[in-house]
Amino acid sequence: MSRSSFARAALAAAAVCTAFAAQAQEQVLNLYSARHYQTDEALYNNFTKATGIKINRVDADDAGILARLKSEGTASPADVILLVDAARLWRAEVDGLFQPVKSPALEKRIPANLRGKDDGQGAQWFGFSTRARVIVYNKATVKKEDVDTYEELADPKNKGKVCTRSGSHPYNLSLFGSIVEHVGADKAEQWLKGVVDNMARAPKGGDTDQIKAVASGECGIGLSNTYYVARLMRSDKPEDRAVMDKVAVVFPNQSSWGTHVNIAGGAVARNAKNREAAVKFLEYLASDEAQAYFANGNNEYPAVPSVKLPNPALDALGKFKAELIPISVVGMNTVKVQQMLDRVGYK
């Protein structure tokens, strides 16, 4: 072989070795996500640009993700889990699907009540956005002062006016779990019975359906997460604007413990193969830039208090006093709440 041919061969071999080395060094993060919002794409792309860590994403609902993690066991490729409700995060923690994370950055940025319980090794999950569970009422048939607390949903003055989605839906389970924490189990069960007695119809549909039922007059009062309200407020459809013209929103319990808030959050999977990258991703979600993307993608509020959300609908709803009980306790209470629902006939 000539000297020039040998040189070309050596260069080719070096290029192949470099390619294999780069491939071996490529960092990959396997993400199981229950979030399905277009703005999250920019979030993930920006993380990759900033860190060089590629994201492989699996999309499913919360229940599907938890079932998949259980079936995969130690062979699961999942590194990070994103879920959209405190009750589901708590259940996954109890089922041993997460691992604790000790991160000064997360502890500094994410308020303590929006994190999982820390037994000294770190929290097992962190909330990255919040939404309030508000009362929506028909402006023509209901007075604000009759629905400015959750307790009034069970007051006889509102008999035949209340509409909700299923009591067993995680959004309601979390609210009811917070009520248990505020007033105790016995009073909470009496309250649930009162809510059932005041229903205009059997529970059905989602939060948007409750808002529309209130607007149509089928109900006078409904429960909804704020992001459903904000979606209708920001809609270009005339029918959605017509709905919002007929209803008003109240943040309950402003003179007592504050309005219930729930979270979307993330955790490092129990069997994560790329733990360092997983923690780095969670810390990224707590950054100012990511908080704006993460929350605004679903018309939610940032979990980091210092981050301002440029969302005209949420701005229009105004500021409110939020409850401060630990979200982890709310999740834990949902087990006893489900038993209460069965006893009072809340479907």
pLDDT in tens, 73-88: 999 999 999 999 888 9
Q: Looking at the structure, tell me whether residues 272 and 125 fall in a common domain.
A: yes
For range 255-283, the mean pLDDT: 97
- 173 occurs within a structural domain: yes
Is residue 298 domain-shared with residue 218, that is, in the same domain?
no
SS3 per residue for the chain: CCHHHHHHHHHHHHHHHHHHHHHHHCCEEEEEECCCCCHHHHHHHHHHHHHCCEEEEEECCHHHHHHHHHHHHHHCCCCEEEECCHHHHHHHHHCCCEECECCHHHHHHCCHHHECCCCCCCECCEEEEEEEEEEEEECCCCCHHHCCCHHHHHCHHHCCCEECCCCCCHHHHHHHHHHHHHHCHHHHHHHHHHHHHCECCCCCCCHHHHHHHHHHCCCCEEEEEHHHHHHHHHCCCHHHHHHHHHEEEECCCCCCCCECEEEEEEEEECCCCCHHHHHHHHHHHCCHHHHHHHHHCCCCEECCCCCCCCCHHHHHHCCCCECCCCHHHHHHHHHHHHHHHHHHCCC
Are residues 337 and 218 part of one domain? yes
209 shares a domain with 62: no
Q: Are 329 and 294 found together in one domain?
A: no
Give the domain extent around 87. Answer: 3-129+266-307
Residue 33, pLDDT score: 95
Residue 314 lies in a domain: no
Q: Mean per-residue pLDDT for 213-240?
A: 97
Give the global pTM. Answer: 0.88
**Domain contains 79:** yes
What total number of domains does the chain contain?
2
Same domain, 24 and 73: yes
CATH number, residue 222:
3.40.190.10
Residue 313 within any structural domain of the chain: no
Segment 3-32 mean pLDDT: 52
Are 334 and 244 contained in the same domain?
yes
Averaged over 26-36, what is the pLDDT? 91
| Residue 110 shares a structural domain with residue 149 | no
Residues 284 and 339 in one domain: no
What value does the mean pLDDT take over residues 218-222?
A: 98
Does any domain span residue 134? yes
Per-chain mean pLDDT for the chain: 91
- pLDDT over threshold 60, residue 300: yes
316 occurs within a structural domain: no
